Chain A
Amino acid sequence: MGRLRQKGKAGAAKAYITRTSAIKKLQCSLADFRRLCILKGIFPREPRSRKKANKGSSAPTSFYYTKDIAYLAHEPVLKKLREHKAFAKKLSRALGRGEWSSAKTLEDNKPVYKLDHIIKERYPTFIDALRDIDDALCMAFLFASLPSNSRLPPELIENCMRLTSEWQLYIMHTRCLRKVFLSIKGVYYQAEVMDQTITWLVPYQFTQSIPPDVDVRVMLTFLELYQTLLGFVFFKLYADAGFAYPPPLDTQKDEGAAGVGAFSLQTVMRSIQAGPSKSGPTGKKVSGKEVRQAIKNIDALTGQDMDVDPNPAQDAVADVEEEFVVHPSSTDPQSSAALPTLHSLSSLPQTTQTSLFSPYTFWLSRETSRPVFEFLVRSFGGRIGWPASSGSGSAFGEEDESITHVIIDRPLIEMTPEERQRRARRKYVQPQWIVDCINAGKILLEEPYAQGKTLPPHLSPFGERAGAYDPTAGIPSIAEAESEAESEEEEAVIEAEEEEEAEEKQALRAAADVAANDAGALRAAELAAEAAGVDYDAFEKEVSKSRKKAKKVAIEDADADAEQDMNKMLMSNKQRKLYERIKHSQGKRNTERTKLEERKKSLIKQKKREAKA
């Protein structure tokens, strides 16, 4: 006989730990525990049986994995938190005693925790980290738009702004923005970085106030983690793209509210370090030409900070120079088929989309949001300028001849002849045009988006669930509905068109079909038929025929349905519940779709009626 097993010594009772006991075990406060959970990404688990996990009690508690908590126990951050507690005590004592100098020393040596090990632990590979920066970006953009107060120090806001600018700079440079959606909550952007789709939401430029039921401490803890995460991710992204991180900030431009324009990308001097190492092992003599080239490179790199705009062109030129050149073989000249190179592969699918706006130059009108549209246009290769009231850093003025499009968002008004002349040269579009072009992947006609026009609906580029209502597709039943409506009208005016017998017959059949199942409708149809001049016998025959047909169909349907219903008897309980659930959700989706379709139909009808009137 084996050993007797005691209750609560193995299994779920051991694998799970309640929050209270976790806090007791870690010997920290609840606030510290929360902070740790946020930083380490530990979340409660749902045991299969709450009763077993809680040693027989069914009190509502949240459970954590015991192992998670055990790992937390030797977390350096927890140690730092404890040190901070001691520090806070010491500081308050020093302040209470009025020992200002020791308080200052304490304050200078305040324990500060670092989160880099947590980042490495939570995201072992770069792709893991990149995949998870959605929330981090959302938070950074949100806090960049918040006003600073006692709880939100200005450095924090500034850092968030810097992070968002760095991200936008990177996106603009790599041209990896894919989709944009103007929603009522804000602007959704979707980019594809290293094959990871990253979606983030940016609020519209309004002052947000933190509602009282939001715990700012929690948000700030998250933000702490997110700032570190974004810093490391951007470092890696910039390093891979060959730029220095952090990008230098032009304070003068920044003070002029240049936004993203205040930052500039600076290439890392890789070539210099690579130069000697390359020549070293090969043992080649360093030619004078190479040396001169290197010096030139250094000059070029250190001398000026390259802005994003001129870069792509230059890069492209450089790329062309480095292009793999096929040397046709001397024996078989035909075999020199074009080999796909990395460059051609990477450039092929994107060329049309990523340089969508490259032939155009845009001018932003004063009332449009500069950060949004500057980002959009520049990340698709266009040039953009704006009035000084929207911030400094515009590359050109309003009078520039190269401007092809003006993004304007105000009603049409009377204009001077000079302005009219200018208008003839430029195209005036509403901001939605830019977004719709990006989502469509091509330049759309400017006409429907012209100033003062009623805009076509703006649809989500992310698509809907499969099988959901699609507003773009013409509803198949619209034609039907129209014919139905026509037949109704015909019924009304049937007297006037007595000579068209074929149609009359059709109407009769339709009426009879409708009437076969409903006594009231039958009576109405009879009256209609009489009015149409059909004799009663013919009507009766038609009705009985249609009735029979309907009955037969109904019986067959009913039989099949009844069989199915009876077969449901033999389903197991589990299967039946699953079936009911699926059916329920299907029904819900269908009703949603049909509701929207119905509404569209009625809207179309209404519009037609209005047009007629």
Chain B
Amino acid sequence: MVAGATSKDTRKRKQPPQEEAPNEQNGLNGASSLEMLSDDEDGEEIGSDDGEVEEFPEIDVASDSEEDEESDESDEDEEESSEGDSDDSDLHIFPKPKTIVSDITGRPKRVYPEIEPDYDSDSSTEDTPNRVGDVPMHWYDDLPHIGYDINGKQVLRPARGDELDKFLKTVDDPEAWTSAFDRNMQGDKALSPQELDIIRRLYEGENPDAQYDPYEPTIEWFTGKGKEEVMPLSAAPEPKRRWIGSKWEKKKIMKIVRAIRQGRIIPNKPKTKESKFQFYSIWSEPPSSHPPPLPAPKPPLPTNSESYNPPEEYLPTDAERAEWQATDPEDRERDYLPQKYSSLRLVPGYDQFIKERFNRQLDLYLAPRIQRTKINIDPNTLIPKLPSPSSLKPFPIYKSLAFAHARGRVRALSISPDGAWALSGDEDGVVSLWEVNVGKEIKQWKFESKIGSLDWCPRSDITYFVVGVDDTLHFIIPPNLPTAIFSASQSSLAPPTLPPPSAIPSPVKWVSNSSSDLSILKVELPPSSGTPTQITWHRRGDYMSTVSSGGGVWIHQISRRHSQAPFKKVRGSVQLVLFHPTKPHFFVATQQYVRIYNLSEQKLLKTLMPGIRWISSMDVHPSGDHLIVGGYDRKLCWFDLELSDKPYKVMRYHAKAIRSLHFHPTYPLFASSSDDGAIQIFHARVYNDLMTDPLIVPLKILRGHTVKDGLGVLQVRWCNRQPWLISSGADGAVNVWCS
């Protein structure tokens, strides 16, 4: 098939030259006339009919092509085509008449050749024998004919083979693949080479017309020699400016010319002179009054280690070298590694040279500069000069004895007003009374639950103490008292005639039970108010205040057996309370603030802001003018109450939370204890002179308690008359520290 196609193709290609020859022979006239025509047109304009006809060479060509087509079309009957050709050449468009003598009249007459409708009227459909027109052919499906010819006779259906014949035809007939089904004739019809060529052209995207020449020469119809415009378009006269130069331009030019002549403008300055910048004495004029900008800091000068031949000790070890290489270039302390070369000849070029220069420049223009004063001081001068602790004796130095609770943390501790007895209560509910001097236990009381707090009554004529357990305060008279004191204490706690009950009803109940061994008097706080975590006495010994773990504050009056809540409502949860030693003032510490109230006037005096997150402990100086506050965030604040509500001094020296603080009643000492297991003793001298600041000197760190479950020394108390300190810890030990 392919071979057939190619052969067909070649034939098709070959055909035009084959046919051109006869065309040339036949159409010689036309061709010559065409050439002549162009010459003629160049020379003179002739509007002849012939010329007009000949002016359209396309038509000629088209007619040629038509001839070609026709010759191509009639591939099989070449005779006919040759005949047609000859006819065509004879006829031309206006066929030439023959002059003959008429047989009839005997006169000469012009005889035109017969018109062949077949040729001139381009009705290719007229060939078709079937004249049914454009009707659906399935109308004839059941009939033996397929239509009618021009004479009205039936056109019989051509014989159509079965599928096998069709297939054999495709094999045998080389033209079968270029034939298509003709609906009108109900049979296959081979496509002509022209049609195939059109198909090929369409397929290749070319112009389907084979004769179309996209590159034909232009024909100048209106331009060229002899065809110029002669008449002007406008009749306006020519303006003056067309031929006279501008006055102003001339003036401008003259200005430049004059400048050039005078040398003010140098037209083509020599380039070398311009580029060469001339230096001059720039600093000869006096400088401006502006201060000069600060000079950039100079880079540090090189040290020994940068030498090409440094002493050997400067050379880095392998580990140092590896470390240097591992660090980022920005983090390196030095930007080079010391190296040693035995001679100058061997020193290589430094590869970071340009980079370092560049970094310096970046520093110069990108880095902010700050002027810093360099401090060159001995760091030891920064440590405040304080009197030596040895000159401030006495203060506790060593642990003289230890009293141990068997179980539980000892949270509560109190010393009798005469300083001879100590009371300690642990979380197991055991309260021990023991001698401070020898550490001998005299008596032990056992309660059901843990001891929240305990405190001796500060009065010296009577002796008893209060223990806070489980919403209840137990008043207990210690054993082995002189009879006078014992009876006085008993009468004050359980008087034979009870004082008249207060007009205002109180939810707190005072219950006497002289029969009980445990306590002579019980104060029952309102239920579910929590364990009393703090008991603090007024200095006279008549009033006592308690703080419960629930936050409730009560002031109890022993003589009137009456309790009252001083505050209806307190902002924040109350941590601690204190009575002022001399004035009717009352300190209340919430989590972050310390408020001072005047109890007699019933108003708030001051709010102190220690800046502590959570206050853990507080104590007031015996003079009443100074207050120390400790917090769980390790801070200790010293307030001078005369001065301001901000601390005079804030110290942070403990490693962990401060648990307890206590001023010595008579000596200028105070102690603080912490969860790190250490007790810090301070000398704190307060002057009567208002202008002199209090002197605080750290004296001693006492270590001896062990830290248990993260808790260290929970409570510290001073002995009243000696510079002795008693401390209780989470490890169950109660230590006595002596000077």
Question: Is B60's beta carbon under 8 Å from chain A?
Answer: no
Cβ of B386 and Cβ of A186 under 8 Å apart?
A: no
In whole angstroms, what is the CA distance A586 to B307 when docked? 25
In whole angstroms, what is the CA distance A560 to B177 when docked? 121
Q: In angstroms, how far is the closest chain A Cβ from the Cβ of B521?
A: 45
The A-contacting residues of B in range 339-369, CB under 8 angstroms, are 339, 341-345, 347-350, 352-358, 360-362, 364-369
Q: A46-B370, A182-B344, A204-B350 in contact; A578/B698 too (CB < 8 A)? A: no
Closest to A372 in B: B344
In whole angstroms, what is the CA distance A135 to B698 when docked? 55
Question: Is B336's beta carbon under 8 Å from chain A?
Answer: yes
Residues of chain B within 8 A (CB-CB) of A218 are: 358, 361-362, 365
In whole angstroms, what is the CA distance A380 to B282 when docked? 31
Binds B, one of A23-31, A314-322, A563-571: A563-571
Q: A208-B354, A219-B358 in contact; A124/B308 too (CB < 8 A)? A: no
Question: Is B484's beta carbon under 8 Å from chain A?
Answer: no
Closest to A119 in B: B282
Question: Is B124's beta carbon under 8 Å from chain A?
Answer: no
Residue of B365, B379, B696 near A34 (CB, 8 A) is: B365
Please, what's the 1-or-0 string for A207-248, where 1 marks a CB less than 8 Å from any CB in chain B?
A: 111110111001100100000100110111001000001100
Question: Is B16's beta carbon under 8 Å from chain A?
Answer: no
Residues of chain B within 8 A (CB-CB) of A514 are: none
Q: A455-B343, A599-B313 in contact; A188/B302 too (CB < 8 A)? A: yes
Most A Cβ at <10 Å: residue of B288, B298, B301, B342: B301
The B-contacting residues of A in range 554-601, CB under 8 angstroms, are 562-564, 566-571, 575, 578-579, 582-583, 586, 596-597, 599-600
Q: In angstroms, how far is the closest chain B Cβ from the Cβ of A7?
A: 24
Question: Is A409's beta carbon under 8 Å from chain B?
Answer: yes
Cβ of A116 and Cβ of B282 under 8 Å apart?
A: yes
Cβ of A122 and Cβ of B293 under 8 Å apart?
A: yes
In whole angstroms, what is the CA distance A38 to B282 when docked? 21
Residues of chain A within 8 A (CB-CB) of B584 are: none
Residues of chain B within 8 A (CB-CB) of A128 are: 292, 295
Residue of B298, B345, B365, B699 near A409 (CB, 8 A) is: B345
Please, what's the 1-or-0 string for B558-575, where 1 marks a CB less than 8 Å from any CB in chain A?
A: 000000000000000000
Cβ of B349 and Cβ of A206 under 8 Å apart?
A: yes
Residue of B279, B310, B345, B653 near A457 (CB, 8 A) is: B310
Residue of B355, B366, B370, B375 near A578 (CB, 8 A) is: B375
Q: A37-B365, A583-B379 in contact; A367/B345 too (CB < 8 A)? A: yes
Residues of chain B within 8 A (CB-CB) of A126 are: 283
The A-contacting residues of B in range 498-515, CB under 8 angstroms, are none
In whole angstroms, what is the CA distance A577 to B191 when docked? 107
Binds B, one of A331-339, A387-395, A458-466: A458-466
Residues of chain A within 8 A (CB-CB) of B353 are: 142, 185-186, 203, 208
Q: A125-B292, A211-B355 in contact; A185/B336 too (CB < 8 A)? A: yes
Cβ of A579 and Cβ of B365 under 8 Å apart?
A: no
In whole angstroms, what is the CA distance A460 to B350 when docked? 18
Cβ of B313 and Cβ of A471 under 8 Å apart?
A: yes
Q: In angstroms, how far is the closest chain A Cβ from the Cβ of B267?
A: 11
Question: Is B398's beta carbon under 8 Å from chain A?
Answer: no
Q: In angstroms, how far is the closest chain B Cβ from the Cβ of A173?
A: 19
Most A Cβ at <10 Å: residue of B287, B293, B310: B293
In whole angstroms, what is the CA distance A245 to B312 when docked? 47
The secondary structure that dominates the B interface is loop
Residue of B269, B309, B380, B651 near A458 (CB, 8 A) is: B309
In whole angstroms, what is the CA distance A119 to B701 when docked? 66
The A-contacting residues of B in range 618-662, CB under 8 angstroms, are 649, 651, 653
Q: A139-B357, A210-B354, A571-B384 in contact; A181/B279 too (CB < 8 A)? A: no
Residue of B348, B354, B362 near A142 (CB, 8 A) is: B354
Q: In angstroms, how far is the closest chain A Cβ from the Cβ of B197?
A: 48
Cβ of B303 and Cβ of A563 under 8 Å apart?
A: no
Question: Is A120's beta carbon under 8 Å from chain B?
Answer: yes
Please, what's the 1-or-0 string for B69-90, where 1 marks a CB less than 8 Å from any CB in chain A?
A: 0000000000000000000000
Q: In angstroms, how far is the closest chain B Cβ from the Cβ of A576?
A: 8
Please, what's the 1-or-0 string for B261-288, where 1 marks a CB less than 8 Å from any CB in chain A?
A: 0000000010100000101111100011
Cβ of B360 and Cβ of A135 under 8 Å apart?
A: yes
Residue of B306, B313, B365, B385 near A460 (CB, 8 A) is: B306
Cβ of A568 and Cβ of B307 under 8 Å apart?
A: no
Question: Is B314's beta carbon under 8 Å from chain A?
Answer: yes
In whole angstroms, what is the CA distance A370 to B382 when docked? 56
In whole angstroms, what is the CA distance A369 to B341 when docked? 16
Please, what's the 1-or-0 string for A255-275, where 1 marks a CB less than 8 Å from any CB in chain B?
A: 000000000000000000000
Question: Is B389's beta carbon under 8 Å from chain A?
Answer: yes
Cβ of A214 and Cβ of B358 under 8 Å apart?
A: yes
Residues of chain B within 8 A (CB-CB) of A207 are: 349
Residues of chain A within 8 A (CB-CB) of B309 are: 182, 432, 455, 457-458
Q: In angstroms, how far is the closest chain A Cβ from the Cβ of B253?
A: 17
Cβ of B382 and Cβ of A182 under 8 Å apart?
A: no
Question: Is A496's beta carbon under 8 Å from chain B?
Answer: no
Residues of chain B within 8 A (CB-CB) of A41 are: 293, 296, 365
Question: Is B246's beta carbon under 8 Å from chain A?
Answer: no
Cβ of A571 and Cβ of B382 under 8 Å apart?
A: yes
In whole angstroms, what is the CA distance A213 to B358 when docked? 10
Q: A235-B280, A600-B313 in contact; A569/B651 too (CB < 8 A)? A: yes
Cβ of B292 and Cβ of A564 under 8 Å apart?
A: no
Cβ of B368 and Cβ of A471 under 8 Å apart?
A: no
Q: A181-B307, A182-B308, A575-B382 in contact; A43/B365 too (CB < 8 A)? A: yes
In whole angstroms, what is the CA distance A459 to B306 when docked? 9
Cβ of A43 and Cβ of B369 under 8 Å apart?
A: yes
Residue of B281, B288, B350, B382 near A239 (CB, 8 A) is: B281
Cβ of A138 and Cβ of B357 under 8 Å apart?
A: yes
Please, what's the 1-or-0 string for A114-130, where 1 marks a CB less than 8 Å from any CB in chain B?
A: 10100111111110110
Q: A458-B310, A460-B303 in contact; A203/B362 too (CB < 8 A)? A: no
Question: Is A62's beta carbon under 8 Å from chain B?
Answer: yes
Residues of chain A within 8 A (CB-CB) of B342 are: 454-455
Question: Is B383's beta carbon under 8 Å from chain A?
Answer: yes
Question: Is B227's beta carbon under 8 Å from chain A?
Answer: no
8 smallest beta-carbon distances between A and B, as pairs:
A206-B349, A124-B287, A566-B698, A462-B301, A599-B313, A569-B653, A46-B368, A582-B379
Known: A62-B368, A183-B302, A582-B375. 7 other contacts (CB 8 A): A183-B308, A211-B354, A219-B357, A235-B282, A464-B303, A566-B389, A567-B383
- B-side interface residues toward A, CB under 8 Å? 269, 271, 277, 279-283, 287-288, 290, 292-293, 295-296, 298, 301-304, 306-314, 336, 338-339, 341-345, 347-350, 352-358, 360-362, 364-370, 375, 377, 379-380, 382-386, 388-389, 649, 651, 653, 696, 698-699, 701
A-B contact pairs, 21 of them (CB 8 A): A37-B365, A45-B368, A119-B282, A120-B282, A124-B288, A134-B298, A135-B364, A139-B357, A183-B308, A186-B350, A203-B349, A206-B348, A246-B279, A409-B345, A457-B311, A459-B310, A460-B304, A563-B388, A567-B385, A571-B382, A582-B377
- A-side interface residues toward B, CB under 8 Å? 34, 37-38, 41-46, 62-63, 108, 114, 116, 119-126, 128-129, 131-132, 134-135, 138-139, 142, 181-186, 188, 199, 203-204, 206-211, 213-215, 218-219, 222, 228, 231-232, 234-236, 239, 245-246, 367-369, 409-410, 430-432, 454-455, 457-460, 462-465, 468, 471, 562-564, 566-571, 575, 578-579, 582-583, 586, 596-597, 599-600, 603
